[in-house]
Chains A and B, each alone.
Chain A
Amino acid sequence: MATGSGAAAAAADAEEKESGSRMITLTSNEGKAFVVTEASARQSATIRSMVDDGGCVDKGFPLPNVDSKTLARVIQYCDEHGNKEAHTVDERAALAKFDKDFIAELDADKAFLYDVTMAANYLHIQGLFALTTQCIADTIKGKTPEEIRTAFGIEYDLTAQDEEEIKEEDTHA
């Protein structure tokens, strides 16, 4: 994985082995610091690549796009997925149950769900992003275009021509 000289690579390997115990500080846009295990932080591809590039692990990572409330929730997910094993059927079931409860709770607060989704997108946490976008996708099932605009705060910008097109397609049906 590590690039650069052999010595640096060896050092990186050694660090890699230690990574379970290494701690990483994430700072929200409100300046609040969260200390997490590296395994937890590595759930985020964004942070992972910064760590692997030999980045500023000691200085911590400021996250100007994420507020404290959202970050706390995102870390909750990362801790569960980063620090726990998922080898046996039982362990996987426990993780699946965690995800289910996690998303059910988020689902109750749309604005917060969107914040977590955007944070997962920004931090490239694939599992979390899949979880939240799937949840949102399920909530818009069967909605009309108007309802979808409302759900996502989309501005109506279709021209008369677009509407004509849609109508045109209608008549084919």
Chain B
Amino acid sequence: MEEPPSSSSSPALPLDIVVEIAERSDPITLLRCAAACKHLRRVIAGEGFRRDLRLRNADGFVPGLLHGFFFQPRWPSPHYHGYNYDPLRFVAAGRHDQLSAAEDIASGGGGGGGDTYQIPSFVSDSNRVHKNKRSRRIEPVAARGGFVVLRTGKFSGKVCNPMTGYTRPIDMPRKTAKGEGSSYLLITFDAGGDVVGVGVTSDDSELHRFRLLAVRLFARTRVEVQELTPDTGTWGPVTTLPVVDADHYLHPHPVLDRESLGRQYHHSPPSYSYFILAVDVSIRRDGETGTTAAATIMLLPTELRAPSYTGEATVTPTPGQLLLSPSSRGGGRRSSLALLVCRSTQVEIWTMKLIRRGMALLRMACTKVVDLTGVPRSPCSPPVSESEVALLWSGDASGGVVLRLGGTVCLLDRRRRAVVVRALGDGEEFVEFGSGRRHVLLPYELGLSSWVPSISASLISWANV
């Protein structure tokens, strides 16, 4: 069928199949493939490759980009007012196909794989022993596309990329008494660009491949947006936006703030109703710095304010039970949103129909209910009460949603027609959650740009080790 290989000892594969294999590997291996021969180099660095990566999964998600999560338990200190921090760990997500996660940890966790060098060094840097155990802490405030924004002090923080070793110290606005006064929106160029329409082309900045915005919502009326200037690590001027369609449910200190695709932004007050705050963060073509154009508030439907329609649910979901998530219904190129609502035994997926470039909510409806009763969990005494279930994170490149059921951390995988929920970290029980929930759990997802050699030049060095 094929030309016999030049060397009889090793079988050959057509290069177009090798490209498909490379796509299914990890970023480091992909780069090494790109250094193997001219054809692979051309294809992998080429324009179409990134698109193919995304389209390979019909729904536009690349599940392999979710690598796992960082986990750091924290305990109230017996000696002073504050917390002690355990060493940081990284828990691998496991393999993203039918094979078991345990096997992956056995084969990939220790020997080879892209995480072997980069992530452990990030972990050990964080864990470098200081006299004061508190300095071990990581305080993530935002993460996307391989980048993580950490607070390191009252006025300081850093943006880093554990995979590439990139670190940039930055200023941080001071926390308010109730926690972060700002919500941070991290946008990496590959997450935006063509897919989200953030209006950033990938050559805008060769050095710093992200934008970081701090968004503060002030009661009812206005939103303040500041953008970080990565070159200096300082924040640019404040842009004040009037809020359109504001209702009477706002609260100055957002309890929940999670961002989704580029311009969406989510706040919820600890009151009876939830809303979504959408801030347009696209850069105008002629703009020197990032200027935002609009902010609107979209109230969630009455069912979510008083969720009586399920019968069993008699209490309003807590912020931890709600999560905004990208939804790729209708193809990978058009971004849309879904709101996930986690109950003790199920996750409801509410699909939203957004209009006016995503700035207005036309309607939303619960389109799918995922049963959680069959999901293995620890301690294994379902149903876990609703206070013990939490939606933690949603990845806009991998499409995965990380949730916690009691002490088990699970991945909700929406890429197949049947939504699959499985335990992460080989089903390990994180007993720490039994004694409080203030632990750091930071899922780590790479961006597609990490897969493209010309962009992540620093990764090439590993390709030649």
A interface residues, Cβ below 8 angstroms from B: 29, 65-67, 89, 92, 96, 99-100, 103, 110-111, 114-115, 117-118, 121, 129-131, 133-134, 136-138, 140-146, 148-159, 162, 166, 169-170, 172-173
Contact = CB atoms under 8 A, between A and B. Distances in A.
B458 A173 contact: yes
Contacts of A155: 6, 37
A138 B95 contact: yes
B interface, size bucket: 35 or more
8 contacts: A137-B23, A138-B95, A140-B25, A153-B10, A154-B36, A154-B40, A156-B37, A157-B38
Given A141-B113, A145-B464, A158 B37 contact: yes
Given A137-B21, A143-B112, A100 B5 contact: no
Contacts of B107: 138
Contacts of A154: 12, 15, 18, 36-37, 40
A146 to B, nearest CB: 8
Interface in B178-216: none
A156 B36 CA distance: 7
B383 to A, nearest CB: 18
Contacts of A118: 1-2, 13-14, 17
Contacts of A143: 29, 32, 112
Nearest to A67: B1
Interface of B: 1-2, 5-7, 10-15, 17-18, 20-26, 28-29, 32-33, 35-41, 95, 97-100, 107-108, 111-114, 116, 374, 418, 453, 457-461, 463-465
A111 B35 CA distance: 23
B13 A173 contact: no
Contacts of B461: 169-170, 173
A141 B13 contact: no
Contacts of A134: 24, 97
A138 B109 CA distance: 12
Given A143-B112, A144-B465, A169-B460, A111 B37 contact: no
A136 B459 CA distance: 22
Contacts of B10: 150-153
A65 B460 CA distance: 38
A66 B2 CA distance: 10
Contacts of B38: 157-159, 162
B98 A133 contact: no
A92 B38 CA distance: 41
B37 A117 contact: no
A99 to B, nearest CB: 5
A67 B108 CA distance: 33
Nearest to A93: B98
A159 to B, nearest CB: 8
A84 to B, nearest CB: 15
Contact of A145 (B23, B458, B463): B463
A-B pairs, top 9 by smallest CB distance, nearest first, are A142-B112, A153-B12, A137-B24, A153-B5, A169-B460, A173-B458, A145-B35, A111-B11, A173-B461
B382 to A, nearest CB: 16
Given A137-B29, A173-B461, A149 B112 contact: no
B239 to A, nearest CB: 34
B98 A99 contact: yes
B17 to A, nearest CB: 6
Contacts of B33: 140, 145, 148
Contacts of B6: 153, 155
Contacts of B7: 153
B34 to A, nearest CB: 8
B460 A166 contact: yes
Contact of B13 (A92, A114, A144): A114
Nearest to B22: A137
B16 to A, nearest CB: 8
Given A114-B13, A153-B11, 18 more contacts: A66-B1, A100-B98, A100-B100, A121-B17, A131-B97, A131-B98, A133-B24, A141-B25, A145-B464, A146-B36, A154-B36, A158-B35, A166-B35, A166-B463, A166-B464, A169-B453, A172-B457, A173-B461
A153 B9 CA distance: 9
A110 B35 CA distance: 23
Most buried by A among B23, B36, B460, B465: B36
Contacts of A111: 11
Contacts of B464: 144-145, 166, 170
B32 A100 contact: no
Contact of B460 (A103, A148, A170): A170
Contact of A65 (B1, B97, B458): B1
Contact of A173 (B14, B453, B457): B457
